[in-house]
Amino acid sequence: MRNSYIALVTLATLAVTASLPAGCSSSSSAPAPGADDPSTTNPAPPSAGGGSGTAGAERAADAWLALVDGGRYPESWDTAAAFFRGALPRDQWSTQVGAVRGPLGAMRSRRQRSATAATTLPGAPDGSYVVIQYDSSFANKASAIETVTPMLDADGQWRVSGYYIR
């Protein structure tokens, strides 16, 4: 198995770790207990795509993660944000995510740690993003942190634009 630091991203600039990098413009929902980011409690941006605050982004992330957890990697690419699909060809995504997730084994548990709204991320176009972190456990890796970054796509729907595991 690979070392404990495993990264899989559509673009390196979307590989956000425990908090947003310096220079990002954001507002934050209250972090879950134990979150690394004790930042602000500013209200989240107005909802779009069927959710209030960060709820629509969180639902999109959960649905997308279910595809990845089920090994349905091509379908996860199909349902990702246009930005994601433009950054990484479908076959390459399937190969890369399979190489990272396969050795981890089956998903055992996942608990949301935080959800932070942002309007800018380094190297990404300005827009509406939510950086969501999860404390996760897999059959072959007891403790991992997954970061999923949904963005509000041009059609007003939240879709995943980045994924990172460490």
Closest by CA position to 110, among listed 158, 77, 76, 147: 147
pLDDT confidence band for 35 (50 / 70 / 90): very low
What is the tens place of the pLDDT at every residue in 68-108? Answer: 999 999 999 999 999 999 999 999 999 999 999 999 999 99
Q: What is the pLDDT of residue 15?
A: 35
Q: What is the pLDDT of residue 40?
A: 27
| pLDDT at residue 112 tops 60 | yes
By the 10 Å C-beta count (0-12 exposed, 13-18 middle, 19+ buried), 134 is classed as: buried
Provide the mean pLDDT of the chain.
Answer: 77
Rounded to an integer, what distance in angstroms lies between the CA atom of residue 159 and that of residue 161? 6
Assessment of whether the complete model's pTM goes beyond 0.75: no
Q: What is the pLDDT of residue 29?
A: 33
**Right CATH for 12-32+40-165 from 3.10.450.100, 3.90.550.10, 3.30.470.20, 1.10.3720.10:** 3.10.450.100
For the chain, give every domain's residue range. 12-32+40-165
**Residue 19 vs residues 28, 37, 64, 92, 147: alpha-carbon distances, Å:** 11, 6, 22, 28, 10
